[in-house]
Structure 1
Amino acid sequence: MSGPLFKRVDNSPLVLFRVFFGILLSIECFGAILTGWVSRTLVLPDFTFTFIGFEWLQPLVGPQMFMYYALMGLLGVFIALGFRYRLSIILFTLLWTGSYLLQKTAYNNHYYLLVLLCAFMCFLPAERAFSLDSKYKPSLKSNSMYAWVRWVFIAQLFIVYTYAAIAKMYTDWMDLSFISLLMESKAGYPLIGAFLQRPDVHLGIAWFGLGFDLFIVPLLLWKPSRGIALGLSFFFHLFNSIVFQIGIFPYLSLVLIVFFYPPETIRSRFFPKRNPEVATEVAKNPHRQWLLIGLGCYFLIQLALPLRHHFIAGDVLWTEEGHRMSWRMMLRSRTGRIQFRVVNKQNGRQQRVNLREYLSEKQIGKVAAYPDFIWQFAQHLKKEYSNKGEDIAVYAESQVRINRRPYAPFIDPTTDLAAEPWDPFRHHSWILPEANRKKE
């Protein structure tokens, strides 16, 4: 059964992907510096919201954070060139994963996808052709790879798109209310701003987006529909890039399409001078069993993570518990209002917290609407006051609005958040149930 996965096939898709992947990684990192993202997100804030459990990861001071991203950008160039590839991709993966876990104020699903793809690339022989490594060390040269390499990328993309489609099957997407809200912020775009406000355009966006996520992988796999699917992919991703300005994700998705084409087709179109001869027999691999077990465990985790919110009480759209790392992309607008109150346990003295003394505007927006940010900020206050010798309780009065629904109470104002533990796999009782699901 596992035999076809260990068949030797042309490695042109992997080699081509390495080149474009490295370029996109470099653009992402240098772009983060040039657009001011690194400064706004990691350098200027006094306090950074890490993923819970990774509080020991903190931004480097001043120019060092820019150097960190510049180094990643340079490593992206090395990856594209295939220069010291193995060292470069491992270093990049470690640095990127560290940066991903370091902050979540600017969370983006493609940051998480890059972590996964980089981890894959650490173990793949992507430097065996069209690389400086193979040029200067001819013994590395090879024109083949195991067939399973292609299917790893295809399976990962299938999981991403399928869960994204399933997540869209909820009321506010299907009745177009979220789409219309999303497009309101695009009204000022030149040429297309007014067009994006039309109800028929909203209908097209909703159903095309859902249908694309649901069917694009099967359409790309089936040869008769592959050309049409490629055209639809270019339209879908370029539209997203122009309208939503979501970084390299649309282009990364387009580059991944190389794995859906027969390897020989990629070779003939992009590397016509390469030797077309590939040994196609099923190769003997003493580690085959362990590789299959490892891949099986990985994909079981990938399938399970997006389902975890079904085992946590409450609606994930409201509670946010189980939202991240679940491919729930561009699904809702979430805003909130919050006021923290600090109470000294010894003398009962109370104090309102001015969030602007601690946080940037973007961080305040997150703290006002997301439970893990609220909990983390309460822990930060507890630590700060503890350093002053005060034992405090932290309370929050909060209201949250999802899409066009009315604001509703979000946090139990009687709960001392500083004393509460955090468990990523259970519901936190201090998150109040959604009071009103009716839209205005």
Structure 2
Amino acid sequence: MEPGARDATAGAPYVEASRVKKKNSKEDKQETLSPSEQTSAMKRLFGFEKEDISSWHRLVCLLNRPTDPASLGIFRFLFGMLMALDITQERGLSHLDYKYLDGAPVCRFPLFNFLKPLPMDWMFFVYFVMFLGAVGIMLGCFYRLACLMFISTYWYVFFLDKTTWNNHSYLYGLIGFQLTLMDANRYWSVDGLRKPRKRNAHVPLWNYTLLRTQIFIVYFIAGVKKLDADWVEGYSMKYLAHHWLFDPFKLILPVELISLMVVHGGGLILDLTAGYLLFFDATRPVAFFFVSYFHCMNSQLFSIGMFSYTMLATSPLFCYPDWPRRFFGRFPEFLQPILNRRPCWEEI
């Protein structure tokens, strides 16, 4: 046997031993990885495994997975506050005597033409009940009753006059109905103070899924509606390019290109992609910037009441549900009981 071959043969057990040792060290390292480091790419991307949707039973279990109620509670608070403001403005409480003036012509919805306005004093009472419902939603006080007070009177007022119909008014009613089905009073609520067992208790994942799906539909359908020739060719909102909000763009682009590329092209792309971009962690910061900029501009361009601010309030729903706890965790310790930062599973 040649010396080189002998040395190689003699060293084989040591080489093999080193390989086994290296393999064992890799296995030990994998065992010591935290659960977050061991999660699959699909779970990191979508928040669930492929097996979670492999059958109806698994899907139901996924949708009922216990989830932090913090983000939902913040949205409930903001939605109730914005609806309370909307009632005095776009719903017409501030000019109720003019809106339901006796003998004023009205246009009814098909199938709902049997609805008639009540006498003026009772219409004020209807609006008062709706306002109390919105405030109750905001505070999470007698939450389920507050939701019923709000949506019953809201839809009644909504169906009284077809001429006041618009997309976002319809959306408010849908969100109000969806909140009625949810447990949005588990965080930042008076009900949580009244009943400690509700305070910070988990909510099922479908509470978030339903609202996220609703907002995705709002954006995507708005994008689909913009695929007509007038919008794509830049004619629908041509006058908007002259608004002062677009002055920064005028430093680099002529008005015609601002209208075509920024107003029409940007609006089309944003609506078609916003729902997707908000869903994924990697693209969410970019989506937050453009969506927030878009809605802030709309609040100045159009008289659409609380719609822009309501859509801004929906954006955090796409974040991790515990984001309010992490955000409020930066506040001084003496404010923590007020901010209700600690979840119930840490209080036990």
The TM-score normalised by the length of structure 1 is 0.58
Are 1:103 and 2:103 an aligned pair?
no
Alignment partner of 2:119: what SS?
A: coil
Aligned with residue 231 of structure 1, among 276, 283, 289: 289
Quick one: distance in 2 between partners of 1:155 and 1:209?
20
Distance 1:41 1:106, change over 3 A: farther
Distance 1:173 1:157, change over 3 A: same
CA RMSD of aligned residues (A): 2.6
Are 1:68 and 2:126 an aligned pair?
yes
Paired residue type of 1:144? H
State the Cα deviation string for residues 154-174 of structure 1 (Å, max 9, x = none): 111111211111111111111
Q: Which residue of 1 aligns with 2:178?
A: 120
Give unmatched runs, 5+ long, in structure 1. 280-440
Matches within 5 A, 1:418-433: none
State the Cα deviation string for residues 322-353 of structure 1 (Å, max 9, x = none): xxxxxxxxxxxxxxxxxxxxxxxxxxxxxxxx
How many pairs are equivalent?
274
Quick one: distance in 1 between partners of 2:155 and 2:119?
19
Q: Name whichever structure is richer in strand by fraction.
A: 1
Alignment partner of 2:107: what SS?
A: coil
Aligned with residue 243 of structure 1, among 296, 301, 309: 301
Paired residue type of 1:275? R
Alignment partner of 1:93: what SS?
A: helix
Aligned with residue 215 of structure 1, among 273, 281, 284: 273
Distance 1:124 1:78, change over 3 A: same
- Larger Cα Rg: Structure 1 or Structure 2? 2
Give unmatched runs, 5+ long, in structure 2. 1-52, 54-58, 331-335
Q: Which residue of 1 aligns with 2:257?
A: 200
Paired residue type of 2:322? E
Paired residue type of 1:216? A
Matches within 5 A, 1:81-230: 81-180=139-238, 183=240, 191-192=244-245, 198-203=255-260, 204-230=262-288
Q: Which residue of 1 aligns with 2:316?
A: 258
Residue 46 of structure 1: CA displacement?
2.1
Quick one: distance in 2 between partners of 1:167 and 1:193?
23
Quick one: distance in 1 between partners of 2:259 and 2:227?
15
Quick one: distance in 2 between partners of 1:65 and 1:242?
31
Are 1:22 and 2:80 an aligned pair?
yes
Paired-residue identity, %: 28
Residue 118 of structure 1: CA displacement?
0.8
Residue pair 2:100, 2:120 contacting (<8 A) in 1 also: no
Paired residue type of 1:20? L
Residue 104 of structure 1: CA displacement?
1.3
Distance 1:33 1:215, change over 3 A: closer
Residue pair 1:264, 1:276 contacting (<8 A) in 2 also: no
Structure 1 stretches of at least 4 aligned residues deviating more than 4 Å after TM superposition: 33-37, 191-197
Residue pair 2:200, 2:344 contacting (<8 A) in 1 also: no
State the Cα deviation string for residues 289-339 of structure 1 (Å, max 9, x = none): xxxxxxxxxxxxxxxxxxxxxxxxxxxxxxxxxxxxxxxxxxxxxxxxxxx
State the Cα deviation string for residues 98-141 of structure 1 (Å, max 9, x = none): 11111111211111111111111111111123211221222332
Quick one: distance in 2 between partners of 1:50 and 1:243?
29
Paired residue type of 2:301? V
Quick one: distance in 2 between partners of 1:79 and 1:114?
13
Quick one: distance in 1 between partners of 2:193 and 2:175?
25
Quick one: distance in 2 between partners of 1:202 and 1:7?
46
Residue 260 of structure 1: CA displacement?
0.5
The TM-score normalised by the length of structure 2 is 0.72
Q: Which residue of 2 aligns with 1:13?
A: 71
Q: Which has the higher contact order (CA 8 A, sep 6+)?
A: 2
Quick one: distance in 2 between partners of 1:116 and 1:159?
12
Residue 270 of structure 1: CA displacement?
4.2
Residue 209 of structure 1: CA displacement?
0.7
State the Cα deviation string for residues 347-396 of structure 1 (Å, max 9, x = none): xxxxxxxxxxxxxxxxxxxxxxxxxxxxxxxxxxxxxxxxxxxxxxxxxx
